[in-house]
Homo-oligomer: A and B are copies of this chain.
Amino acid sequence: MKTISFLRGTAQVMFQPSAIGGVLMLAGIFWGAIEGGHAEVALGAVVGLVVATLTGYILALPQEEGEEGLWGFNGVLVGAAMMTFLGSTPLSWVALVLASAMSTWVREGLNRVGARHKVNSFTFPFVLCTWLFLAAARVLTGLDEVSLAHPMLPSVHHYDIAATPPDSVLEGVRWVLRGVGQIMLQDSWVAGFLFVVGLLFSSPWAALWALVGSAVGTYGALLYGASEVAVSSGLYGFSPALTAIALGAVFYTPSWRSAIWALLGAVATLFAQAALNVFLEPLGLPALTAPFCLTTWLFLLPLIRLDRHKQTDEDHSSWHKKKVTNQQ
């Protein structure tokens, strides 16, 4: 059991097998959580990371993945999300531990399914496990779902005000950084800044695409008239940022072709975000990173070749080997 497995876990949310990146991102989570007055979110992230990583050891899953931090990244998100939306009680912590542990073997199972179609499960194990427990909280009075949205029939509600452009360039930059921060559920531009710095250590391309993706999602949503609150707090930025990293810097070699593909992916993710918000509104559940997962699958499944010189078939079922090679 190596410490580095744990440290790398957080950075793998953004596809980086980097211990330094992981520590910087954990710092960002702590900053955002404490700034927002809910330190339990950061604690949840750490517990989720540890439980999910330990689960991989206990189940004796293939070691190489664990050492790259691939067992823990869903757990980080499960832990942060459970403490973001549920009250912190003994029963919710038990649920958090179970959901984090499940995310590890759900990932293993979904990756086996995806590998046949040459795609990865990404953060969908996090999405699935968290949806189950948050939905359950609606009817289990032992879980306090006070921070979940009220279930409603979808429409533009009277209190939704269409976003207007930011007051200043600086505020506009903060929107984009908040979009990166929301990848880990932090409504904090400082957290987003720390995440970008964390990415820079292992992959400058990933850092660039995180910012570009968040900007495309945020300003696309502004153009299409999404709500002020959602746009300015980065809720239209985080999933497009992840899609842009995946398409622009991980599964395709950076080039002008893959840049166009990543931009298209970020735009499509913005609409998927709006759509999933609507699908989930009658349940009052958050979309989490589902818009990223869905869109990235739709862009990877056709196995489009963007590099004309390649001799081998595309295979997007893992970023493990690619990253190890990049890291030398």
Interface residues of A (CB under 8 A from B): 59-61, 91, 95, 98, 102, 105-106, 108-110, 112-113, 116-117, 131-133, 135-136, 138-143, 150-156, 160, 162, 221, 223-227, 264, 267-268, 271-272, 274-279, 282-284, 297-305
State A272–B264 Cα separation when bound (angstroms): 34
Task: Find A91's partner among B59, B91, B223, B300 (CB 8 Å cutoff).
Answer: B223
- Give the chain B neighbours of A131 by CB distance below 8 A: 275
Task: Find A102's partner among B102, B106, B298 (CB 8 Å cutoff).
Answer: B298
- Give the chain B neighbours of A154 by CB distance below 8 A: 135, 138-139, 151, 282-284
Q: Are the CB atoms of A133 and B98 closer together than 8 Å?
A: no
State A112–B113 Cα separation when bound (angstroms): 14
Q: Are the CB atoms of B279 and A135 closer together than 8 Å?
A: yes
- Give the chain B neighbours of A106 by CB distance below 8 A: 298, 301-302
Given contacts A109-B302, A139-B227, A141-B225, 10 further A-B contacts (CB under 8 A): A91-B223, A98-B268, A106-B298, A109-B303, A112-B117, A133-B275, A138-B156, A142-B162, A151-B282, A154-B284
Q: Are the CB atoms of A275 and B132 closer together than 8 Å?
A: yes
A155 to B: closest C-beta gap in Å: 6
Q: Are the CB atoms of A155 and B160 closer together than 8 Å?
A: no
State A136–B226 Cα separation when bound (angstroms): 9
- Give the chain B neighbours of A223 by CB distance below 8 A: 91, 142
Given A143-B224, A151-B155, A223-B91: A275 touches B136 (CB 8 Å cut-off): yes
- Give the chain B neighbours of A305 by CB distance below 8 A: 60
Q: Are the CB atoms of A95 and B303 closer together than 8 Å?
A: no
Q: Are the CB atoms of A110 and B274 closer together than 8 Å?
A: no
Task: Find A109's partner among B105, B113, B274, B301 (CB 8 Å cutoff).
Answer: B301
Q: Are the CB atoms of B160 and A139 closer together than 8 Å?
A: yes
A16 to B: closest C-beta gap in Å: 24
A281 to B: closest C-beta gap in Å: 8
Given A142-B223, A160-B139: A271 touches B133 (CB 8 Å cut-off): yes
- Give the chain B neighbours of A153 by CB distance below 8 A: 151-153, 282
Interface centre among A61, A264, A275, A279, by most chain B C-beta atoms within 10 angstroms, is A275
- Give the chain B neighbours of A105 by CB distance below 8 A: 298-299, 302, 304
Q: Are the CB atoms of B224 and A301 closer together than 8 Å?
A: no
